[in-house]
Amino acid sequence: MAYLLFELGFLRVRHVKRQLSKIFRVLPPNAHILDAGYGFGPYTDQALREIPDVRVTGYDVNVQQVQDCISFFTGEGFGDRCNFKELDLNDLKDKNTYDLAIAVDIMEHIEDDIKVLKNLRRALKKGGILLIHTPASEVDSRTVSHHDSFVGEHVRDGYHPDELREKLLESGFSRAEVRFTYGRWGMVSWWMMQGIPFRLLSISKFFVLLLPLYYLFVFPFAHRFMLADLNLDHLKGGGLIAKAWV
């Protein structure tokens, strides 16, 4: 239920899951997937349920998330097909191990992003794919010394698409495709589903009592805006989704 609500409420999850479903079709039998910074595991869950023989290794710096995912996926009967460990991706040493690496909304938290991208590149097999989602920025983060992100833990506001593509190629990937997510309608849905509620809760925790009614009213509209964002090409947007090949 939590994974379903996460997908319904967050547009980036819909974008990532759509791309993953396409990638899953071209993965080899018995594919091995790296879920980097997996959080509470929505993409691991998707992989384990959509691909019968897939194996997933997940690394995250949050010890509680590691324990929670071990408990949940073992209880779901997937314990022999997934492995979760506490690890900072700066310390990733795996080589030529994975067919696919997933890095969703983590690169904006990493200071030395080139090092981590090189680590992910080294961890992938020949022909392996890296899938990234991250916030977009209108400026190259290499040219600014400060940031004004909505999320305090970010070390950069996001990536300009050319910057992300160049960093992927610099890290050793042979080819990279980058496109925008969260275009006009996607940003409207974001404000409806996350932006406005977060602002209200920052004013008073009392608003949490009104959120069920709020979402009951706005979700039908936000859902349609998300579908529009998924099916349109955007000249600019608030997010980037990238695929890179070894």
Q: Which pLDDT score, from 0 to 100, does residue 146 have?
A: 59
Token readout for 156 is 């950069």
2-183+234-245: CATH homologous superfamily? Vaccinia Virus protein VP39 (3.40.50.150)
For residue 171, give the nearest of 213, 215, 116, 89 by alpha carbon: 116
Token readout for 126 is 């020949």
Q: Which pLDDT score, from 0 to 100, does residue 117 have?
A: 98
- pLDDT by residue for the chain (246 residues), tens only, comes to 889 999 999 999 999 999 999 999 999 989 999 999 999 999 999 999 999 999 999 999 999 999 999 999 999 999 999 999 999 999 999 999 999 999 999 999 999 999 999 999 999 999 999 999 999 998 877 676 555 554 557 888 899 999 999 999 999 999 999 999 999 999 999 999 999 999 999 999 899 999 999 999 999 999 999 999 999 999 999 999 999 999
Per-domain residue ranges of the chain:
2-183+234-245, 185-229
Neighbouring CB atoms inside 10 A of 158's CB total 22
Q: Which pLDDT score, from 0 to 100, does residue 225 have?
A: 97
Long-range Cβ pairs for the range 149-158 (8 Å, 24+): 149/108, 151/108, 153/109, 154/108, 154/109, 155/108, 155/109, 155/110, 155/111, 156/108, 157/108, 158/108, 158/134, 158/238, 158/239, 158/240
DSSP-based three-state secondary structure for 32: strand
